[in-house]
Amino acid sequence: MKSVFLLEAFSLACFVLLNQVAAKNSEDIRCKCICPPYRETKGHIYKQNVSLKDCNCLHVVEPMPVDGKDVEAYCLRCECKYEERSSGTIKATIIMYLSILGLLLLYMIYLTLLEPILKRRLFGHSQLIQSDDDVGV
């Protein structure tokens, strides 16, 4: 009964996870700008979903922490990188990991609950007691 419940819970968790990952996420493509401290402003990391050609300080850093003539000097210090990730690969890896984890869990349940019951049924209780006595001698 417990194994059926665990299997259902595992299946539900996989289903929920797949539904969340399956949709094309806008976070798969982003531009990340790391700007160090400049005069009175603290360093900051800016992330925004923009295309590769717009991956620069002027398009990503919003709101601009400096005024007018300092914008160019501030942007020259920022390092912007275009990042892209494959949600399909991530999804496949998670499915494989959860499947292996589920199989190990089922095997653990088998070893702890079912195997002792099957041994008693196949070999009889008296033979198990005899083997324990033989080991002690």
Render pLDDT for 24-54 as a digit per residue (tens, 0 to 9). 555 688 899 999 998 888 889 999 998 889 8
pLDDT for 113 equals 87
pLDDT for 21 equals 47
Render pLDDT for 49-77 as a digit per residue (tens, 0 to 9). 988 898 999 889 988 888 888 888 899 99
What span, in angstroms and rounded, lies between the C-alpha atoms of 25 and 113? 42
Q: Given the DSSP bridges, would you call strands 79-84 and 44-48 parallel, antiparallel or unpaired? A: unpaired
Rounded to two decimals, what is the model's pTM? 0.50
| Cα angle, residue 69 at apex, residues 65 and 73 outer, rounded to 5° | 70
Q: H or E stretch including 30? A: strand 29-35
Our measurement of the distance from residue 91's CA atom to the centroid of its chain's CA atoms, rounded to an integer in Å, reads 9
Q: For all residues of the chain together, what is the average pLDDT? A: 79
Does residue 122 or residue 81 have the better pLDDT?
A: 81
What span, in angstroms and rounded, lies between the C-alpha atoms of 83 and 104? 35
pLDDT for 131 equals 57
pLDDT for 88 equals 87
